[in-house]
Amino acid sequence: MDQLLRAGTAVISDIFDSEGGTPAILTSLPSITPSPRFVGPAYTISGETYASAASGDRAKLEAIDAMPAGVVPVWAGGDISGVCCFGDLLAEAMMGRGCTGVVVDGGVRDVGYLATLDMPIIARYRTPAQSIGRWRVTSCQEPVQVRGVLVEWVTVNPGDIVVSDEDGVIIVPSADLERIEKKVKEWALTETESRQAIQDGMSLGAALDKFGHL
């Protein structure tokens, strides 16, 4: 999977385009931490807005407690608006379980502290409002939908590969991983050659004719 991150989300997106597919790119999610770079299999969590006087969300805590090392928690906020999915203590718990990064289609809080963690976190928005009594987890490790760029909603299945870098976040379905990894290697060689040719003075038109894409 590391070669996907080295290649970058732009290359992965171009590969899906070259196959006639639609890249599964998530909507613009600002990075909460200094680096947005990570890759790993999705561990999915979804929730819903509700109104209650409940004093906690045990389903959320159980979902975090069950996270294995190396996963990327993907929080699907659904209709969440204005409240957070988690803050500093729950982020610490995820980091302690070895999560490689976190994607939040919703809000987070305690951002000043989150920014100091050695775990990349990207989120749709930040807010001081807690979720208790306002939003709750309804499922984990089930297919979820998060906001997309080229389509309104992107479906993320448990185990799909999440790749995040400075250009954004893209999902590689687990069934496509072997094929995409193979093509990434091929495209990396072509890009290296085309970059060198352009640096050596080849015109862009000639480069396009020779290499097929720029």
- Check whether 160 has a pLDDT greater than 90: yes
Each residue's pLDDT tens digit, 115-137: 999 999 999 999 999 999 899 99
pLDDT at 1: 84
Contact 15/180 with Cβ under 8 angstroms?
yes
In this prediction the pTM is 0.88
State how beta strands 153-156 and 144-147 pair: antiparallel
Question: Per the structure block, which two tokens stand in for 43?
Answer: 């561990």
What is the percent of the chain with per-residue pLDDT over 90, rounded to a whole number? 76
State how beta strands 135-140 and 121-126 pair: unpaired
CATH class of 2-172: alpha beta
Mean predicted lDDT score pLDDT of the chain: 90
Chain centroid to CA 111: 18
Question: Per the structure block, which two tokens stand in for 87?
Answer: 């803050």
Contact 124/132 with Cβ under 8 angstroms?
no
The residue type of 214 is: L
201: left (phi over 0), alpha (psi -120 to 50) or beta: left
Each residue's pLDDT tens digit, 2-15: 989 999 999 999 99
pLDDT band at 202; cut points 50, 70, 90: low
- Check whether 206 has a pLDDT greater than 90: no
pLDDT at 105: 97
What is the residue extent of each domain of the chain? 2-172, 179-211
Contacts of 135 by beta carbon, 8 Å cutoff, 6+ apart: 47, 48, 49, 50, 77, 80, 83, 85, 106
